[in-house]
């Protein structure tokens, strides 16, 4: 039986669902007998297309059916391998096996590092780009040796492109030798050889059953040769999706690719962004004229009107021919059944889409699909659908790095690389997979205690550093540290092997370190999760990836630093998509562009039509300049826009279509997609969907607006505090609610984790230095600066913080030493430091700590308060605030400070801030031009305190929020008091 000369090439127009129409036609032609379909072979573009076509056969059959074999031709971009049915059957030369993708990446990353000074993570990124470039050369059957001649012909190439080209030449020179050593070839090369061998075999001996190439659009030479053969087999057919057979010849020829002009050598630029360009190129390489392509005459049962195909074709006209829109008949420009929805932002867009999908479920048997390249939008829609208990079938999946097992593995790498710093350590210990199951609550309780204990500046690095930090019982949180330390001792053995593996990186070569690090992460993940990290689809994908990565790691980058491991693992995991198992909702789907190419739902929602999303921004090629790609005959970087346009055209063929976009993204106003603008311009404005935006806005809108009133809790006087610190009196008067929240509800703001030293922390550190200087050095001026230097040397704050703070602190410390020395010469000497005192006043215990109390030459007392910032001004004192020194004087007058007798006569703030160009000065709320009479200061403080105590502590006045906001600068309790709801509201 010989081959036929007239090619059997068909196209299924956009208004028909490709997979359903294909299944209908094949069943009609070959399904008359029980095994008729089973004798056939369907070539499909990739493994993902197989599910769509299988589902279409199931829908169409209505019962049992023996399906034809579905054989993918393989997709190098997806690392798809060619179907086993196309493997050679012993005839001809044996084709070597392909190198494993992850081993290939590791070897290329090593070559990249050897020919350039980059770290391991960057080497892997460049290796991924290099692998894509190499695949494109192989797919297009371009000899890499042509790079040398092209480089010589382009002397004006910019320096950075020339550098990249030089490095690429070196790598491509070494790469074949690397493959020969392993007896392997590239996956794309093996695909080419297999396809060529199959085409040759079928030309000589055609298969006994029918062969259909369905949905294949790639114009790769090896694929085109195979399709050329299939189209001419006795029972062969090629079925193309959405080929425009009615496009005017002038427009068709304008697409290109064009041959150079014989005289001038000028070559017109091809319109590679047009949705028909790749199909035209494929037909040319198949030696098939467009006039030889026939319409597939079967429909799929869920078709749109045929006029939709004409309108789509008109909307996608090349830019030079869009003037024809002005003369189109209304029927040729009308997109009946297509509606548009323009939303304010991605959140509103996701909500509206979810409502549209949920609405589709109200009609029995109706299906709906969201099609978008925006994975964040897809995730939002999926989350919104769960409001109604709908778990959408998201066939595009999500990257392994975003799944729980992936985030756990990244958390392990980050925590170890950062020396178990608090933020990555706590993220690891609180991960939902860690100690999942029995004992999880106890584990979380311990992790939360550790969280509280690690608040503030970072402890020393490593597990031992955390243990040392928790063992320090010198601070006020000693009980909390003790409790956290007891739990932490059980955690250390679990993490110690991981720490040892990372510490060993500097003591061994990267080839040995990378496998050890990956193994340590894997083993620690197993221990911490009791092997649940490897369960489920995501866990199995992570297990497979780590097994392959460990096996190939010895051939990876030569140079490795621990800090680069997490980015390296993340890049590997980003390339692995985890798809949900079957069993999700049978009528609601979320498809990426690849999954949507061959199938339709009753309602198609094409979402994310903004420039940079659909179509996406071209992926840059760091290895080949655009001009070099053109000279080599490689697809331009804009070729993907062609595929995106074709995906949109096929999606617009759905029976009912909703196209959506958001006017802004998360950062800035968004630009409408060029496709959206084309549809708007051709139709004069797409019909809007009137309700979904309003429903989305109304869904979470409360039935009535009931903002909170200004809170003013009024607990019984019997349970109100009977003790108050001198530093809390201002808070009680200015913001009684904040005092109530702190003292009665016992709520206090937590310090940030891994924080740079705050002003409060710096103030506490300075106080600690001055206290020790007083108690241990008897205020010897010569010993103060060494104490401050020891503080700076021992603090675990960020080095930049030390560099900024050290000069200021030391200058201020020197000023304090000089000031104390000057006072001593005048007969004034320090008496006590950080001294605690209390006194019973007006039925309340007033408490406070004096930073320092001095004895003046006349026997009176001077009360000193250290300030690392600016001291309070006279205005606050006159209005009854900032009375801390006066209240301390009141305690002193009542004999509240042990071993301190006398009447306070001086009240001083020793500020370490700058004034008059120097750091350090003394200010006082009494005396001077604006100060209060010293003899009136303590009585005034007593009267102010008496009024506050009788009103709020022994009385029944409500604790009103922000009573005097000008003296309530701290916002620790603003959220609790719901400040934004009532502050500044009239009435």
Alpha helix segments (H runs only) across 601-691: 626-632, 639-651, 674-683
Q: What is the DSSP letter of 373?
A: S
Contacts for 507 with CB less than 8 Å, ≥ 6 apart:
none
- In this prediction, the residues of the chain whose per-residue pLDDT falls under 50 are 1, 90, 508-511, 987
Write out pLDDT tens, residues 711-740. 999 999 999 999 999 999 999 999 999 999
| End-to-end CA separation in angstroms for the chain | 94
Name residue 656's beta-bridge partners: 603
Element (H, E) at 285: helix 277-286
Picking from 403, 518, 505, the residue whose alpha carbon sits closest to that of residue 106 is 518
* CA pair distance 689, 685, nearest whole angstrom: 12
Report the pLDDT value the prediction gives residue 79, as an integer from 0 to 100.
58
Report the pLDDT value the prediction gives residue 627, as an integer from 0 to 100.
82
Cis-peptide into 257, omega within 30 deg: yes
Picking from 566, 425, 413, the residue whose alpha carbon sits closest to that of residue 491 is 425
CA distances 593 to 245, 335, 647, 648, Å, are 23, 21, 6, 8
Tokens 């690397």 sit at which residue?
Answer: 178
Report the pLDDT value the prediction gives residue 679, as an integer from 0 to 100.
95
Output the six-digit token pair for 789.
């230097």
* CA pair distance 330, 336, nearest whole angstrom: 11
Tokens 């007058």 sit at which residue?
Answer: 893
Name residue 867's beta-bridge partners: 911
- Provide the residue count of the chain: 987
Output the six-digit token pair for 157.
């190439």
Rg over CA atoms, the chain = 38
Report the pLDDT value the prediction gives residue 476, as an integer from 0 to 100.
74
Alpha carbons within 13 angstroms on the beta-carbon side of residue 160 total 3
Output the six-digit token pair for 382.
């999926």
Write out pLDDT tens, residues 275-299. 999 999 999 999 999 999 999 999 8
CA distances 421 to 401, 417, 484, Å, are 22, 9, 16
Max Cα distance, the chain (Å): 126
Output the six-digit token pair for 769.
């230095």
> pTM of the predicted model, to two decimals?
0.85
Output the six-digit token pair for 348.
């509103």
Asked whether 761 and 456 are in contact (CB, 8 A), the reply is: yes
Asked whether 500 and 533 are in contact (CB, 8 A), the reply is: no
* CA pair distance 898, 968, nearest whole angstrom: 33
32: alpha, beta or left? (left if phi > 0; alpha if psi -120 to 50) = alpha
Element (H, E) at 784: helix 781-794
Report the pLDDT value the prediction gives residue 393, as an integer from 0 to 100.
79
Output the six-digit token pair for 139.
């797919």
Instruction: Tell me the helix, strand and coil percentages in the chain, rounded to 5.
Output: 50, 15, 35
Output the six-digit token pair for 376.
């964040």
Asked whether 737 and 763 are in contact (CB, 8 A), the reply is: no
Alpha helix segments (H runs only) across 897-963: 934-948
How buried is 581 (Cβ within 10 angstroms: 0-12 exposed, 13-18 middle, 19+ buried)?
A: exposed
Report the pLDDT value the prediction gives residue 90, as an integer from 0 to 100.
47
Cα dihedral 703, 705, 711, 715 in deg (nearest 10)? -30
In degrees and rounded to multiples of 5, residue 221 shows phi and psi of: -55, -45
Give per-residue burial for 683-698: e unless 16+ CB within 10 Å, then b: beebeebeebbeebee
Asked whether 606 and 277 are in contact (CB, 8 A), the reply is: no
Contacts for 657 with CB less than 8 Å, ≥ 6 apart:
335, 337, 338, 339, 603, 604, 605, 606, 651
Report the pLDDT value the prediction gives residue 512, as an integer from 0 to 100.
55
Asked whether 927 and 874 are in contact (CB, 8 A), the reply is: no
Alpha carbons within 13 angstroms on the beta-carbon side of residue 106 total 21
Other CB atoms within a 10 A radius of the CB of residue 840 amount to 12
CA distances 490 to 414, 443, 486, Å, are 21, 10, 8
* CA pair distance 536, 542, nearest whole angstrom: 10
Report the pLDDT value the prediction gives residue 760, as an integer from 0 to 100.
66
* CA pair distance 249, 267, nearest whole angstrom: 19
């Amino acid at each position: 039986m010989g081959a036929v000369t007239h090619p059997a090439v068909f196209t299924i127009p956009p208004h028909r669902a490709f997979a359903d129409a294909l299944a209908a036609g094949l069943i009609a032609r070959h399904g008359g007998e029980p095994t008729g379909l089973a004798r056939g072979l369907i070539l499909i573009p990739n493994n993902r297309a197989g599910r769509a076509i299988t589902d279409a056969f199931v829908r169409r059959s209505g019962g049992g059916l023996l399906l034809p074999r579905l054989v993918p031709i393989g997709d190098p971009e997806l690392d798809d391998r060619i179907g086993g049915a196309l493997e050679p059957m012993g005839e001809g030369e044996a084709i070597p096996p392909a190198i494993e993708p992850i081993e290939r990446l590791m070897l290329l990353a090593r070559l990249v590092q050897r020919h350039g000074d980059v770290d391991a993570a960057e080497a892997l990124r460049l290796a991924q780009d290099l692998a894509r470039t190499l695949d494109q050369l192989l797919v297009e059957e371009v000899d890499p040796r042509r790079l040398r001649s092209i480089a010589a012909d382009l002397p004006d190439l910019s320096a950075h492109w020339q550098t990249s080209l030089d490095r690429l030449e070196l790598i491509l020179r070494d790469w074949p030798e690397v493959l020969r050593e392993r007896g392997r070839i590239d996956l794309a090369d093996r695909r080419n050889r297999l396809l060529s061998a199959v085409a040759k075999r079928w030309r000589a001996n055609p298969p006994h059953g029918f062969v259909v190439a369905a949905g294949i659009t790639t114009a790769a030479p090896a694929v085109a040769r195979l399709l050329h053969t299939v189209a001419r087999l006795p029972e062969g057919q090629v079925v193309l999706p959405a080929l425009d057979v009615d496009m005017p010849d002038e427009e068709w020829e304008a697409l290109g690719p064009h041959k150079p002009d014989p005289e001038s050598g000028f070559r017109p630029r091809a319109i590679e962004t047009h949705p028909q360009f790749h199909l035209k190129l494929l037909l040319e390489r198949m030696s098939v004229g467009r006039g030889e392509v026939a319409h597939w005459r079967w429909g799929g049962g869920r078709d749109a009107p045929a006029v939709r195909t004409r309108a789509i074709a008109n909307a996608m006209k090349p830019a030079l021919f869009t003037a024809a829109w002005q003369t189109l008949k209304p029927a040729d420009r009308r997109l009946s059944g297509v509606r548009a929805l323009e939303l304010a932002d991605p959140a509103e867009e996701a909500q509206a889409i979810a409502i549209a999908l949920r609405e589709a479920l109200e009609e029995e048997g109706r299906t709906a699909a969201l099609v978008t390249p925006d994975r964040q939008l897809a995730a939002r829609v999926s989350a919104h659908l769960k409001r109604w208990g709908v778990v959408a079938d998201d066939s595009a999946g999500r990257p392994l790095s975003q799944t729980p097992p992936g985030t756990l593995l990244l958390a392990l790498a980050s925590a170890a690389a950062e020396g178990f710093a608090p933020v990555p350590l706590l993220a690891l210990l609180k991960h939902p997979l860690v100690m999942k199951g029995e004992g999880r609550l106890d584990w979380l309780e311990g992790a939360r205690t550790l969280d509280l204990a690690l608040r503030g500046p970072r402890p020393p690095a490593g597990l031992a550093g955390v243990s040392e930090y928790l063992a320090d019982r010198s601070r006020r949180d000693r009980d909390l540290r003790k409790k956290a330390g007891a739990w932490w001792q059980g955690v250390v053995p679990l993490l110690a092997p991981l720490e040892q593996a990372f510490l060993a990186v500097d003591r061994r070569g990267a080839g040995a370190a990378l496998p050890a690090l990956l193994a340590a992460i894997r083993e620690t993940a197993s221990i911490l999760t009791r092997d649940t990290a490897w369960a489920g689809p995501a866990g199995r994908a992570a297990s497979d990836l780590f097994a392959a990565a460990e096996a190939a790691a010895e051939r990876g980058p030569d140079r490795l630093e621990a800090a680069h491991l997490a980015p390296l693992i993340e890049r590997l995991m980003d390339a692995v998509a985890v798809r949900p198992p079957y069993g999700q909702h049978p009528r609601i789907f979320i498809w990426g562009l690849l999954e949507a190419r061959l199938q339709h739902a009753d309602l198609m929602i094409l979402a994310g039509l903004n420039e940079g999303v659909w179509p996406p921004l071209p992926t840059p090629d760091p290895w080949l300049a655009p001009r070099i790609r053109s000279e080599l005959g490689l697809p331009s970087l804009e070729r993907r826009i062609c595929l995106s346009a074709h995906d949109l055209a096929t999606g617009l063929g759905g029976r009912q279509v909703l196209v959506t976009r958001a006017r802004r993204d998360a950062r800035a106003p968004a630009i409408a997609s060029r496709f959206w603008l084309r549809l708007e311009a051709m139709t004069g404005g797409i019909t809007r969907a009137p309700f979904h935006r309003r429903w989305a806005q109304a869904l979470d809108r409360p039935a009535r607006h009931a903002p909170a009133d200004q809170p003013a809790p009024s607990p019984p006087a019997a349970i109100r505090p009977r003790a108050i610190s001198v530093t809390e009196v201002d808070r009680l008067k200015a913001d009684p609610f904040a005092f109530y929240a702190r003292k009665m509800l016992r709520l206090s703001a937590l310090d940030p984790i891994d924080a740079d030293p705050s002003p409060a922390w710096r103030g506490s550190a300075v106080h600690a230095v001055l206290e020790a200087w007083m108690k241990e050095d008897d205020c010897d001026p010569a010993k103060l600066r060494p104490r401050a230097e020891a503080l700076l040397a021992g603090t675990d704050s960020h080095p930049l913080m030390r560099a900024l703070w050290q000069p200021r602190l030391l200058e201020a410390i020197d000023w304090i030493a000089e000031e104390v020395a000057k006072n001593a010469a005048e007969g004034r000497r320090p008496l006590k430091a950080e001294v605690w005192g209390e006194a019973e006043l007006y039925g309340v215990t007033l408490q406070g700590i004096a930073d320092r109390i001095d004895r003046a030459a006349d026997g009176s007392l001077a009360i000193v308060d250290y300030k690392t910032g600016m001291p309070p001004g006279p205005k606050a004192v006159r209005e009854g605030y900032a009375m801390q020194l006066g209240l301390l004087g009141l305690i002193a007058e009542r004999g509240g400070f042990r071993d301190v007798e006398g009447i306070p006569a001086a009240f001083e703030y020793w500020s370490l801030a700058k004034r008059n160009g120097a750091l350090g000065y003394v200010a006082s709320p009494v005396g001077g031009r604006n100060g209060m009479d010293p003899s009136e200061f303590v009585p005034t403080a007593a009267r102010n305190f008496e009024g506050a105590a009788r009103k709020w502590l022994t009385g029944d006045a409500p604790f009103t929020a922000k009573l005097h906001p000008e003296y309530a600068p701290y916002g620790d309790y603003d959220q609790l008091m719901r400040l934004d709801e009532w502050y500044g509201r009239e009435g």
